[in-house]
Structure 1
Amino acid sequence: MRSFIRSAGIRGFRSVVEAHQGDAALLAERYGVGIEALDSDDVLVSDAAMGRLLEGAARELPCPDLGLQMALHQDIGILGPLAIAVQNAPTVGGALECASQFLFVHSPVLSFSIVADPEGRHGEVGLRYGSADGGVPPRQGSDVGLAFVHRMLRFLVGGPYGLHSVHLPHRPLAPSSRYTAFFGAEARFQQESALLRVPRSLLDRPLTGVDEALREIALTYLQARFPEPGRTLAPQVRVAIDRSLGSAPARIESTGRLLGMHPRTVQRKLAAEGTSFGILLDDARRESALRLITRTDLPFVQIAALVGLSEQSALTRCARRWFGATPRTVRAQGSAADPEAGAP
Structure 2
Amino acid sequence: MSLVRSAGLQKFRQVVEGLGGDANAYARKAGLPDGALDTDELLVEDTALAAVLEIAAADLGCPDLGLRVAEAQDFGMLGPLAVAIQHSASVADALECTSRYLFVHARDLSVSLVDDPDGARGVVGLRYSFGAGVRPLPQATDMTTLFVHRAVMFLVGGDYGLRSVDLPHQPVAARTRYEDAFGARVRFGRDSALLRVPSSLLSRPLDGVDETLRRLALAFLSRHSPEAGPVVAAKVRAVLDQSLGTGSTDLVDVARVLAVHPRTLQRQLAAEGESFASILEGVRRARARTYLTTTDMPLAQVSNLVGFAEQAVLTRCARRWWGRTPTALRREARVRG
TM-score, length-scaled by structure 2: 0.87
Structure 2 contact 240–283 (Cα < 8 Å) conserved? no
C-alpha separation between the residues in 2 aligned to 1:328 and 1:254? Answer: 33
1:158 is displaced (CA, Å) by: 1.0
For 1:90-120, what per-residue CA distance to the aligned partner results, in whole angstroms no more than 9, with x for missing partners?
A: 0011101111121121111211101111111
Bigger drift between 86-95 and 285-294 goes to 285-294
CA root-mean-square deviation: 2.8
Unaligned runs of at least 5 residues, structure 1: 339-344
2:240 is matched with which residue?
237
1:200 is matched with which residue?
199
**Does 1:90 pair with 2:93?**
no
The one-letter amino acid paired with 2:88 is: A
1:141 is displaced (CA, Å) by: 1.6
Are residues 15 and 34 of structure 1, via their aligned partners in 2, closer, same or farther at CA, if it must alter by over 3 Å?
Answer: same
For 1:18-45, what per-residue CA distance to the aligned partner results, in whole angstroms no more than 9, with x for missing partners?
A: 1221111111111211231111111111
Unaligned runs of at least 5 residues, structure 2: none
2:49 is matched with which residue?
50
Are residues 270 and 21 of structure 1, via their aligned partners in 2, closer, same or farther at CA, if it must alter by over 3 Å?
Answer: farther
1:280 is matched with which residue?
279
Task: Please give the secondary structure, in 2, of the residue aligned with 1:5.
Answer: strand
Equivalent pairs counted in the alignment come to 333
Structure 1 contact 81–218 (Cα < 8 Å) conserved? yes
C-alpha separation between the residues in 2 aligned to 1:160 and 1:259? Answer: 38
1:271 is displaced (CA, Å) by: 4.4
C-alpha separation between the residues in 1 aligned to 2:32 and 2:258? Answer: 13
Task: Please give the secondary structure, in 2, of the residue aligned with 1:129.
Answer: strand
1:182 is displaced (CA, Å) by: 0.8
TM-score, length-scaled by structure 1: 0.86
The one-letter amino acid paired with 2:30 is: Y
The one-letter amino acid paired with 1:151 is: R
Are residues 121 and 255 of structure 1, via their aligned partners in 2, closer, same or farther at CA, if it must alter by over 3 Å?
Answer: closer
C-alpha separation between the residues in 2 aligned to 1:91 and 1:302? Answer: 42
Matches within 5 A, 1:1-344: 2-133=1-132, 135-228=134-227, 231=232, 232-243=235-246, 251-252=250-251, 263-264=262-263, 267-268=266-267, 270-271=269-270, 275-297=274-296, 303-304=302-303, 307-309=306-308, 314-338=313-337
Bigger drift between 81-90 and 289-298 goes to 289-298
Are residues 273 and 80 of structure 1, via their aligned partners in 2, closer, same or farther at CA, if it must alter by over 3 Å?
Answer: farther
Task: Please give the secondary structure, in 1, of the residue aligned with 2:162.
Answer: coil
